[in-house]
Amino acid sequence: MTHGLLAVALVLAAASSSRPVLEALRPELEKAAGGAVELRYGETGALVAEIRKGAEIDLFLASHEGSVRRLAEDGRVDEASLSRCATGTLSLVAVKGAPFELPRRLDGATALAFVKLPVRRLAILSAKTAPEGVAAEEVLEASRILREMQEKLIRSATAEEAIEAVRTGTADVAILPSSLVPASGFASSPVDPTLHGPLKQTAAVVSASTRKDAALRVLDVLSAPETRETWKRLGFSAP
C-alpha cells in the first residue's frame, strides 16, 4: 500500500472527533511509525464494524472506551495495549448571526430557556453510529428536555452530516464534539459534561495487524503525557 509516493507504515482508524489532534500530531506519528501513516476517519460504530469485517487496520482510536473493550473481549484488539488518551467534550452550536442567542452553557439550569428558543430542528449524531449521539441524548434526558426536543431531532450518521445540516439551515442547532467546532466556524456553547457518560478517547492495537511494533510506538505518542496539552488545546479534557 502507498500513501502518495511513500509506503504506508501504519493504518490508523480513528473517530472523526479526533481529526484535529491527529492532524496536528501527524509528524510525530509518522516519525514513530517509521513512515507514512494513513489516517482513516469515521464514526466509532462504523469503524468497529470495519474491524469486525477484517479491514486492514493496525491501530484503532475510538471515542468510547466501551467500544474498544468489547472488541478486546472478542479478540479483535489486544487488550494489553488498551490506552486512554483523553476525554471528549460536547458543544451546542449554531451559525453565527442566528436569530437567537445560545445559552452560555447548556446545563440543567439553562435547558428550559433553550427549549423556548425558536429552534425548529436540532441535529445530533446517531446513537447507532456514534457514542457522541448517545451522549447528546443523555444530555437532553438529564436536563429534562428530551420529550420537548424529540420531534425536532435530526439524527445524522456522521459529524460531517450534522455540520452540513446546520450550515445549510436544515437544522438550526446541533450538539457536536467540541473538537470539530473551530473548523466549522459556528458559534458555540459548552455542554455540561456531567449530563452524559464519559467519552473516553481510547486506543488499542488491532489483533490482526502485522505491524504491531509500529502501532505500539504510535500508541505511545497518542497517550504520552506530553501530548495531553495538544488534546486539551483542541477540545478535549484529561483522560
Same domain as 69, residue 12? yes
- Answer yes or no: do 110 and 155 share one domain: yes
User: Does the pLDDT at position 107 exceed 80?
Assistant: yes
> The domain containing residue 53 runs over which residues?
2-87+198-237
Domain count, the chain: 2
96 lies in the same domain as 12: no
Q: Rounded to 5 degrees, what are φ and ψ at 25?
A: -95, 0
Residue 148 and residue 61 share a domain: no
CATH of the domain at 32: 3.40.190.10
Whether 119 and 177 map to the same domain: the answer is yes
User: What is the model's pLDDT at position 8?
Assistant: 82
Q: Crossing angle for the helix pair 44-52 and 65-73, nearest 10 degrees?
A: 10
Mean pLDDT of 86-104: 96
- Residue 140 sits in the same domain as residue 203: no
Does residue 203 share a domain with residue 166? no
> Does residue 141 sit in the same domain as residue 221?
no
What's the pLDDT band for 234 if we cut at 50, 70, 90? very high
pTM for this entry = 0.93
Given a contact cutoff of 8 angstroms between Cβ atoms, the answer to whether 126 and 197 are in contact is no
